[in-house]
Chain A
Amino acid sequence: MIHKEIVIVGGGPAGLSAGIEAAKYGAEVLIIDENHLVGGQLFKQIHKFFGSREHKAGMRGFSIGRDLLEEINKSENIELWLNSEVIGINKEKELLVVPKDQGVVEIKAEKIILATGAIEKSIYFPGWDLPGVMGAGAAQTMMNVHRILPGKKVLMIGSGNVGVIISYQMIQGGAEVVGILEASSTLGGYGVHTAKVTRAGVPFYRPYTIKRAIGEDCVEGAEIVQIDSQWQPVEGTEVILEVDLICMATGFNPLTELAWMSGCQFTYIPELGGQVPTHNDRLETTVKGIYIAGDISGIEEASTAMEEGKLAGVHAAHSLGYLSKEKEKVERNKIWERLNDLRSGPMDIKRKNGKELMFLKYNEGCIND
């Protein structure tokens, strides 16, 4: 069995930031990712980030990704395992890893940071499983990372930030966005992004939902229908749109399999994306020494994920003795200030409340134990 100080599972914005932070204080870090490149979803994000400059505002996701990679490569304390899948974990902080073509490797870690991210949620309708129906983020990956336009005429389901930003990127990639469906009567995205697609001539259908995808082997069309205040279809309002791609921008679920396997407790908080590992304000779970960071701890943005990564990284390094209690507290407070800033917008209040509820639940659990 290989021995490691800090093992980070997932090399997205949270995992990379956690690694950089912990390594900065001298801790030895191993980052494991199943992809052939780290960066997570940053390299498909070609829009500019919000926030202030210290939150990397104005920068596009892929340049933030490049900066993180550069820092990782510079650090002597960070080791990267790519093409490697973590398939097992336990309370003793032992990991079972399958590096590509190399059999199985066992690792005993002092500290583990799970930064496994999230997966897009689907809505279910007849034909939702046809090729040509996919997550909006999947289409984004194809366009911005692999330079493939997965459809020419697109229907977007969901008017939140993901829906409008990716609709605009579909236009930039050369597609026509035939419409954006919103089941609620109000649009969900930031004004600036919504305005962009509106100016580009994309119609919003609301309150509308999809009735079915049309096609034999691939999507050839979509039937949409208006819904009433009880979310029931209104007869006679059906419209058939000719499309070859239907994208779902209908939210995310945290990827929590390893956390479940590790035996840590969970708390159900809808504002954070459902069942989330119970954690404190240092992002430690109920299994001592196992931390979480990023979307696994509640669905948010890449900017918050990076701060959370630092938070977990600094505390993990401290608990290994790499920085003093006082220094850790100073650093933690700085990160929390930035996190609170990032969560101060009108759309973030739900998530902020969700986080506060989470810390309350963690403390209750500790008292009960």
Chain B
Amino acid sequence: MNKTNLERLILLSRIDSHPILGELDINKEVTLMIDGEVCKAYEGDMIASAMYANGKRVFRYTKKFHKPRGLFCAIGKCTDCIMTVNGVPNIRTCITPVEDGMIIETQEGLGQWERSEGL
């Protein structure tokens, strides 16, 4: 996807006003670190919706063929959208709410646990 298309997507992805649901209640803003980039989201967002709000569609790459994967079922069942969150891999981002200061990383393959020394 070229840059302009992506920018348009980001611009349009948050639904601020809706004919049935009304205006978006803006919750407290939270700051996330997505692959080393400082990103904004709202309290109540799932990690997956925060990813989309920041124009990100690729959540992980598969182990064998290094193919991109992203949001698929959005109800925590398919595990396609798993990412590494605060050092823990395989987190289902579509049903995990964001927290201020969360560190979110694109997952490579099955991911790696960060284990402390001596464990």
With A132-B70, A138-B71 as known contacts, state yes or no: A173 contacts B15, CB within 8 Å. Answer: yes
Inter-chain CA distance A43–B16, complex, in Å, is: 18
Taking a contact as CB atoms under 8 Å apart, the answer to whether A138 and B74 are in contact is: yes
Binds A, one of B31-39, B44-52, B107-115: B44-52
Pairs across A and B, CB under 8 Å, 16 listed = A119-B75, A119-B77, A129-B80, A131-B68, A132-B70, A135-B74, A137-B73, A137-B75, A142-B48, A142-B71, A146-B45, A146-B46, A146-B49, A149-B13, A150-B71, A244-B5
Name A141's contact: one of B19, B20, B75 (CB within 8 Å): B75
Q: Within the complex, what minimum Cβ distance (angstroms) separates B62 from chain A?
A: 9
* Number of chain B residues whose Cβ lies closer than 8 Å to a Cβ of chain A: 39
Within 8 A of A (CB), among B62-78: 67-78
Within 8 A of B (CB), among A92-117: none
Name A172's contact: one of B18, B24, B59, B74 (CB within 8 Å): B18
Within 8 A of B (CB), among A216-259: 217-218, 220, 244, 255
Chain B residues contacting A143 (CB-CB under 8 Å) are 15
Q: Within the complex, what minimum Cβ distance (angstroms) separates B18 from chain A?
A: 7
Name B12's contact: one of A41, A46, A130, A149 (CB within 8 Å): A149
Taking a contact as CB atoms under 8 Å apart, the answer to whether B59 and A36 are in contact is: no
Within 8 A of B (CB), among A150-174: 150, 152, 172-174
Chain B residues contacting A147 (CB-CB under 8 Å) are 14-16, 18, 21, 24, 49
* Number of chain A residues whose Cβ lies closer than 8 Å to a Cβ of chain B: 37
Q: Within the complex, what minimum Cβ distance (angstroms) separates B45 from chain A?
A: 6
With A36-B95, A36-B97, A218-B58 as known contacts, state yes or no: A144 contacts B21, CB within 8 Å. Answer: yes
Say whether B53 faces chain A, with CB atoms less than 8 Å apart: yes
Closest to A40 in B: B75
Say whether A148 faces chain B, with CB atoms less than 8 Å apart: yes
Taking a contact as CB atoms under 8 Å apart, the answer to whether B18 and A173 are in contact is: yes
Taking a contact as CB atoms under 8 Å apart, the answer to whether A150 and B45 are in contact is: no
With A35-B95, A218-B58 as known contacts, state yes or no: A172 contacts B8, CB within 8 Å. Answer: no
Q: Within the complex, what minimum Cβ distance (angstroms) separates A35 from chain B?
A: 6
Say whether B119 faces chain A, with CB atoms less than 8 Å apart: no
Taking a contact as CB atoms under 8 Å apart, the answer to whether A131 and B75 are in contact is: no
Chain A residues contacting B45 (CB-CB under 8 Å) are 146
Taking a contact as CB atoms under 8 Å apart, the answer to whether A138 and B21 are in contact is: no
Say whether A5 faces chain B, with CB atoms less than 8 Å apart: no
Q: Within the complex, what minimum Cβ distance (angstroms) separates B83 from chain A?
A: 12
Q: Within the complex, what minimum Cβ distance (angstroms) separates A275 from chain B?
A: 17
With A120-B73, A149-B12 as known contacts, state yes or no: A172 contacts B19, CB within 8 Å. Answer: yes
Chain B residues contacting A132 (CB-CB under 8 Å) are 57, 70
Taking a contact as CB atoms under 8 Å apart, the answer to whether B52 and A150 are in contact is: yes
Say whether A60 faces chain B, with CB atoms less than 8 Å apart: yes
Closest to B74 in A: A138
Inter-chain CA distance A144–B45, complex, in Å, is: 12
Taking a contact as CB atoms under 8 Å apart, the answer to whether B72 and A148 are in contact is: no
Say whether A360 faces chain B, with CB atoms less than 8 Å apart: no
Closest to B45 in A: A146
Name B69's contact: one of A129, A139, A144 (CB within 8 Å): A129
